[in-house]
Chains A and B, each alone.
Chain A
């Protein structure tokens, strides 16, 4: 270490000099400056454009990342998630008949939720929406009570989106997800079995049953 100090001193000593350029150096430089126009200032991209670009990139990632989930949702029967809180009443009214047009054989076990042969389809779907809301609110309350602040919503395409905002909760969830080999592509796409495993592995976390996209967004 002492050698290095000596070395540094020596380098300063060796490189130090008082040499100067020739006496007409400044004049020559200024002659060239006089013949050289200044470049126009470059405009820096506005910060909000960067933010908008980042947000757009995130949306694309989420869209691409959830494609398999949405494809599954599309091929399965209409579930109660199709009529979400994120969907307006009028949208729900439009969506119900469309859902009703889906073949019964694809509906599987959820077909009993809807009675498409009667005029009560809309009423049934609204009941389902209410039940979904209750379940989502319950999940959020349970998680919040033990430190996992969870915001649960349902997108228009029927996918449940869980947003975890507690820093400690996010850290624990990220650790678990990484250990399980999940990658964050603007959110973690979890199937029902993964959700169940995660709920079991992280006591206190209560993601709603079923498929979901989990977004870790720690807020201090």
Chain B
């Protein structure tokens, strides 16, 4: 059945499972990616996403639309991801700083490869940040939420969100600098070119 989000939401709130299935289809990608970028492995990211959708289904009758549905759902998803990160011992100290070293094998002339290197370095660095820092960075840069929306999503004051993002960025930059990746995609790529 075809819905628009408002209708699907309204009907799902009344217990319409078909309408909720529409919402799951619409949001499964973003929610899964959010969990993945929080540092979870694919199977755990699916578990976090599933937990978020079940929490959304249970809580929908009380959802009053004060925030956007997506914002609320991202909160549930990021909380579910944080729960798994804390629960699973395998995520403790999984990344050694050595892992962040830029590969020094034969440099590829292809920008695509450089970009992948940068992505890998940043993702690894992110994985070593505290869960609360990853949470705000993912909501900010992956979901592109405003500070206000993040504040709504995490039930935090906007000032706390801003300072948490700044601290997270600071730590990330320090980690990248420490690993020789400095920061910024271009910075990494340019550094690589200079070395060649």
Check: B102 CB closer than 8 A to any chain A CB: no
Bits for B172-196, please: 1 = Cβ < 8 Å to A, else 0: 0100000000011111000000000
B9 at the interface (CB under 8 A from A): no
- Taking a contact as CB atoms under 8 Å apart, the answer to whether A11 and B49 are in contact is no
**Minimal Cβ-Cβ distance residue in B for A44:** B64
Which chain B residues border A41 with CB–CB below 8 Å?
61-62
Assess A25 versus B50: contact at CB under 8 Å? Given A6-B184, A33-B17, A33-B20: yes
Does A34 reach chain B (CB closer than 8 Å)? yes
**A interface: dominant SS:** helix
Comparing A16-24, A117-125, A157-165, A169-177, the segment that makes contact with chain B is A16-24
- Are B54 and A7 in touch, CB under 8 angstroms? no
Complex CA distance for A99 and B122, rounded to whole angstroms? 83
Task: Determine, out of B24-32, B83-91, B103-111, B156-164, the stretch whose residues face the partner at the interface.
Answer: B24-32
A197 at the interface (CB under 8 A from B): no
* A9 interfacial by beta-carbon distance below 8 Å: yes
Interface size class of A (residues with CB under 8 A): 20 to 34
- Chain A CB within 8 A of B133 CB: no
Q: Which residue on chain A has the smallest CB distance to residue B187?
A: A6
Within 8 Å CB of A13, what residues of B? 115, 119, 185
The main secondary structure of chain B at its interface with chain A is helix
**Closest Cβ neighbor of A10 among chain B residues:** B185
Point out the residue from A10, A25, A33 that lies within 8 Å of B54, measured CB to CB.
A33
Q: Are B61 and A29 in contact (CB under 8 A)?
A: no
Please tell me if the beta carbons of A39 and B138 are within 8 angstroms of each other in the complex: no
A46 at the interface (CB under 8 A from B): no
Residues of B contacting A26 in the complex (Cβ-Cβ under 8 angstroms): 21, 24-25, 28
Complex contacts, B46 vs chain A, CB 8 Å = 21-22, 25
> In the assembly, what is the distance between CA of A20 and CA of B137, in Å?
20
Chain A residue nearest to B188 in the complex (CB):
A10
Task: List residues 1-50 of chain A with CB under 8 A from any CB of chain B.
Answer: 3-4, 6-22, 25-26, 28-30, 32-34, 36-42
CA distance A29 to B141 in the complex (A): 26
Report B1-22 CB contacts with A as 1/0, cut-off 8 Å: 0000000000000010100110
Q: A6-B187, A30-B17, A33-B17 are in contact. Are A14 and B57 (CB under 8 A)?
A: no
Most buried by A among B29, B141, B187: B141
Write the B125-148 contact mask toward A (1 if CB under 8 angstroms, else 0): 000000000000110111010000
**Chain B's nearest CB lies how many Å from the CB of A157?**
42
A32 and B62 within 8 A (CB) = no
Report chain B residues within 8 Å CB of A7: 169, 173, 183-184
Contact yes or no, A36 B187, CB < 8 A: no
CB distance from A163 to the nearest CB of B (A): 34
Q: Which residue of A lies closest to B37 (CB)?
A: A15
Is B75 among interface residues, defined by CB-CB distance under 8 A?
Answer: no
Nearest 10 A-B pairs (CB), nearest first? A10-B185, A11-B141, A41-B61, A21-B32, A15-B142, A6-B184, A14-B122, A39-B58, A41-B62, A15-B141
A-B contacts, 18 of them at CB < 8 A, read: A6-B187, A9-B185, A12-B141, A13-B185, A17-B37, A19-B29, A19-B42, A20-B29, A20-B32, A21-B49, A25-B32, A26-B21, A26-B28, A28-B50, A29-B24, A29-B50, A38-B60, A40-B61
Residues in chain B within 8 A of chain A (CB atoms): 15, 17, 20-21, 24-25, 28-29, 32-33, 36-37, 42, 45-46, 49-50, 53-54, 57-62, 115, 118-119, 122-123, 137-138, 140-142, 144, 169, 173, 183-187
Chain A interface residues toward B at CB < 8 A: 3-4, 6-22, 25-26, 28-30, 32-34, 36-42
Q: What 4 additional pairs, Cβ within 8 angstroms, besides A15-B142, A21-B32, A30-B24?
A: A13-B115, A26-B25, A33-B20, A38-B15
